[in-house]
């Protein structure tokens, strides 16, 4: 079930990232680099509105899983009801805030006038709110580990958004029209989510939460919120700092590079995405004794899938960008490798963070995120005025590296594990993934920037194949990959040799 749920989660996220990649060239050609940068930074502002829900939305899946394990359907419904109330409250407050700040932001960027900026910000809040409602609806299926129906709904919603976005961009170059088209797509996406919810459970689905339940969820979610605030600093604030300290075009270039990196990270992190409800249910029913086995097993499996994704994206960055956009704006082809490797280090905390949240220790994850965010802010604010976009990248790299090491040390102490448990999961896959990257990296350096998409496609396919085929073979032979991702003939050959 865990493998099936992980595949479902990955498919839903992957489709969204694929459409995001396909849209970017059209957005750049129709809106221009300036408006593309405004849309990226506006999205970051809207994401910050999520701070106002005190972490309730991100905690729902965990509580649905726990209440299901306890057989408490009533509190499951109350949890979902609390989620709807929090999204509504946040949306109303955010609308008031963005309406008052529109002219100030417009003056700073100098791309849209005040009224246009206000409507774009309002549309962004509407998108956030509709996505928030969809997230609450999907929490029932995700929390009860019936992840296929909600992820099918997510895929349908992504298709709707893509079709409406493309049609709008072909009709008009207006960023306001594009923003409200996205808001309409987000609203329509609630329909398949509701249909999926009806497939995984029986109504009524929502109930008004009691004070005791609200306090219980808030005591957990506020701690988890701290970690999410820190993640916002790492994933969103960089664009805002660049927009204000450098210019909006530099923010657009950073957004292009970060879309590649966060796309890879989003897919890689799906290797542990289905673990929260599974681990929460296991710990609730069997106790903390299951942690060591889960940690050793899933760290190895998760890293064996995640590491090669980061490494191949880093090694083939120039080919990927040219094939994607037909150009590599600014320093984007150099930004991608640095950011990708920074987030590779951070992936070593994935399984530990998931287990800590499932075990009811969000503070462990939050404190680590706070450390990374604090280091990131200090470095980026100090270096961005001097080094521009590279000051931001350097600060992010060092912050993620130090924070990842600190988290792994704290997690091992908390659950009374050994460093050998960590090394056994990270070292074999890390050595294989980085070692096999040398040939494609040398090819990338020797070839340089391709002249067009056709040449870029050739080198992208060639270097990716030179990397991924040997990796897949060796990772299968050395028993690193999850069982259903291994090459069958290699597995069979190995069994014969062992016999």
160 and 258 share one domain:
no
DSSP letters, 349-417, are GHHHHHHHHHTT-HHHHHHHHHHHHHHHHHHHHHHHHHHTHHHHHHHHHHHHHHHHHHHHHHHHHHTT-
Inter-residue contact 313 to 463 (CB < 8 Å)? no
Which domain-ending residue is among 162, 189, 209? 209
487 is a domain residue: no
Distance CA 391, CA 242 (A): 10
489 is a domain residue: no
Distance CA 310, CA 289 (A): 32
335 is a domain residue: yes
Q: What pTM did the predictor assign? A: 0.62
140 and 279 share one domain:
no
How is residue 84 written in tokens?
Answer: 């709807």
DSSP letters, 96-144, are HHHHHHHHHHHHHH-SS-HHHHHHHHHHHHHHHHHHHHHHHHHHHHHHT
16 is a domain residue: yes
What pLDDT, on the 0 to 100 scale, is given for residue 182?
A: 92
169 and 223 share one domain:
no
230 and 281 share one domain:
yes
Helices (H) and strands (E) in the chain, counts: 21, 0
Distance CA 147, CA 2 (A): 10
493 is a domain residue: no
Distance CA 439, CA 442 (A): 5
**Count of domains forming the chain:** 2
92 and 200 share one domain:
yes
Rg of the Cα atoms in the chain: 22
495 is a domain residue: no
| One pLDDT digit (tens) per residue for the chain, 499 residues | 555 555 555 666 677 777 877 888 888 889 888 888 888 777 766 666 555 555 676 678 878 888 887 888 888 889 899 888 888 888 888 888 887 888 888 887 788 888 898 999 899 889 888 988 988 898 888 878 787 888 888 889 989 999 999 999 999 999 999 999 999 999 999 999 999 988 887 778 888 888 888 888 887 777 666 655 655 666 666 777 777 776 677 777 777 777 777 777 766 666 555 566 667 777 777 777 778 888 888 888 888 888 998 898 888 888 988 888 887 777 777 788 888 887 888 888 888 888 887 777 777 777 777 787 788 878 887 887 777 778 878 888 888 888 888 889 988 988 888 888 898 888 999 899 999 999 998 998 898 888 888 999 999 999 999 999 999 999 998 888 877 677 776 554 554 444 4
Which domain-ending residue is among 155, 182, 209? 209
496 is a domain residue: no
203 and 263 share one domain:
no
Which domain-ending residue is among 209, 240, 259? 209
220 and 261 share one domain:
yes
457 is a domain residue: yes
Exposed / middle / buried, residue 232 (Cβ in 10 Å: 0-12, 13-18, 19+): middle
150 and 220 share one domain:
no
221 and 204 share one domain:
no
51 and 110 share one domain:
yes
Domain that includes residue 331, residue range = 216-480
């Amino acid at each position: 079930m865990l493998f099936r749920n992980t595949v479902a989660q990955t498919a839903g996220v992957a489709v969204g990232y694929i459409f995001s990649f396909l849209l970017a060239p059209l957005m750049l050609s129709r809106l221009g680099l300036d408006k593309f940068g405004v849309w990226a930074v506006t999205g970051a502002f809207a994401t910050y509105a999520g701070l106002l829900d005190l972490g309730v939305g991100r905690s729902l899946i965990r509580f649905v899983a726990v209440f299901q394990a306890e057989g408490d359907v009533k509190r499951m419904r109350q949890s979902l009801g609390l989620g709807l109330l929090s999204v509504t409250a946040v949306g109303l407050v955010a609308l008031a805030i963005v309406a008052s700040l529109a002219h100030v932001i417009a003056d700073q960027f100098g791309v849209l006038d005040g009224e246009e900026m206000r409507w774009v910000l309002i549309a962004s809040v509407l998108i956030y709110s509709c996505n928030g409602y969809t997230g609450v609806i999907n929490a029932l299926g995700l929390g009860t580990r019936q992840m296929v129906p909600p992820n099918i709904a997510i895929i349908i919603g992504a298709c709707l958004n893509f079709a409406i976005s493309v049609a709008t961009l072909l009709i008009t170059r207006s960023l306001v029209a594009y923003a409200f088209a996205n808001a309409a797509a987000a609203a329509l996406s609630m329909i398949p989510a509701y249909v999926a919810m009806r497939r995984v459970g029986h109504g009524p689905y929502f109930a008004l939460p009691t004070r005791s339940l609200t306090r219980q969820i808030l005591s957990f979610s506020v701690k988890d919120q701290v970690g999410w605030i820190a993640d916002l600093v790492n994933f969103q604030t960089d664009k805002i700092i660049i927009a204000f300290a450098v210019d909006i075009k530099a923010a657009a270039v950073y957004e292009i590079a970060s879309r590649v990196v966060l796309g890879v990270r989003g897919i890689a992190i799906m290797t542990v995405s289905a673990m929260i409800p599974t681990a929460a249910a296991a710990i609730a029913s069997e106790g903390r004794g299951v942690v060591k086995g889960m940690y050793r097993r899933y760290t190895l499996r998760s890293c064996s899938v995640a590491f090669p994704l980061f490494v191949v994206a880093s090694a083939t960055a120039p080919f990927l960008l040219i094939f994607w956009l037909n150009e590599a704006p600014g320093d984007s082809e150099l930004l991608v490798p640095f950011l990708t490797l920074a987030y590779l280090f951070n992936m070593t905390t994935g399984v530990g963070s998931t287990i800590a949240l499932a075990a009811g220790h969000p503070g462990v994850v939050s404190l680590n995120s706070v450390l990374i965010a604090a280091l990131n802010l200090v470095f980026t604010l100090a270096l961005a005025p001097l080094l521009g976009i590279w000051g931001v990248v350097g600060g992010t790299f060092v912050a993620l590296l130090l924070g990842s090491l600190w988290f792994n040390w704290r997690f091992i102490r908390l659950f009374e594990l050994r460093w050998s448990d960590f090394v056994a999961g990270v070292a074999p896959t890390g050595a294989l993934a980085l070692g096999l990257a040398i040939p494609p990296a040398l090819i990338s350096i020797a070839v340089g920037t391709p002249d067009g998409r056709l040449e870029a496609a050739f080198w992208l396919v060639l270097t990716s194949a030179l990397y991924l085929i040997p990796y897949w073979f060796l990772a299968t032979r050395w028993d690193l990959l999850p069982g259903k991702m291994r090459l069958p003939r290699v597995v069979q050959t190995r069994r014969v040799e062992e016999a």
